[in-house]
Structure 1
Amino acid sequence: MTIYNSTVLRSGGDSVSGIIEIDVHGKDVETAIREIKKHLNNAGTGTYRIRIIHGYHGGTRIRDGIWDEFSYGREPKVKRITMGENQGITELILREF
């Protein structure tokens, strides 16, 4: 798994300016959700967005799992969930920047 923190967190959870970026390519849905929750729980007050890179094809299962797990107020830290720059990215918005 690769994590980036923007402060982007890059590959392994590095930080870069308020964004944590997590690459969960090749993970199963349960493992990906566990990793995302771990970083969500550890996100500091400077983090306003978690960018999840799940990919286009096999990543659609992960994408659907993310939307099921974090949308509709299921996680108090997540204010909203949105598609990223392309279909292979989903973003959890923790606070507006």
Structure 2
Amino acid sequence: MHQIKHGSVLEVDIHGMTASEAKRGLEQLLSRADKTITEVRVIHGYNSGQVLRDMVRRQLKHPRISAKIISLNPGETRILLK
């Protein structure tokens, strides 16, 4: 899972992971993320990333998640944090 921090936004690329690996990794990331992080931009891909996209948008749950925003980029989902 590749991560890049841009100020208060953390960009995470989950290409090449299984849905269960990505879910576990994102849950750990959300639990450990600094309180200054207000958004996690998850790059899951579009063509072969539909399983990952659906996991992020439908199955990923965490107490820090306040909203999920479907990006104009179909290969990306934005997660706003509390």
Same fold, judged at TM 0.5 (above) = yes
Q: In the alignment, is the contact (CA less than 8 A) between 2:27 and 2:62 conserved in 1?
A: no
**Secondary structure of the corresponding residue to residue 32 of structure 1:** helix
Q: In the TM superposition, what is the alpha-carbon distance from 1:85 to its structure 2 partner?
A: 4.0
Match of 1:55 in 2: 45
Q: In the alignment, is the contact (CA less than 8 A) between 1:51 and 1:84 conserved in 2?
A: no
With normalisation by structure 1, the TM-score equals: 0.77
In percent, how many aligned pairs have the same letter? 27
Letter matched to residue 42 of structure 1 = R
Match status 1:20 vs 2:10: yes
Match status 1:84 vs 2:67: no
Name stretches of at least 5 consecutive residues in structure 1 with no aligned partner: 7-16
Name stretches of at least 5 consecutive residues in structure 2 with no aligned partner: none
With normalisation by structure 2, the TM-score equals: 0.89
Distance in 2 between residues matched to 1:76 and 1:38, nearest whole Å: 12
Q: Which structure is higher in RCO with an 8 Å CA cutoff and minimum separation 6?
A: 2
Letter matched to residue 18 of structure 1 = S
Match status 1:45 vs 2:35: yes
Structure 1 residues 85, 5: closer, same or farther in 2, change over 3 A? farther
Question: How many residues are paired up?
Answer: 82
Q: Deviations over 1:34-75 (max 9, x none)?
A: 1111111111111000011010111111010112223xxx42
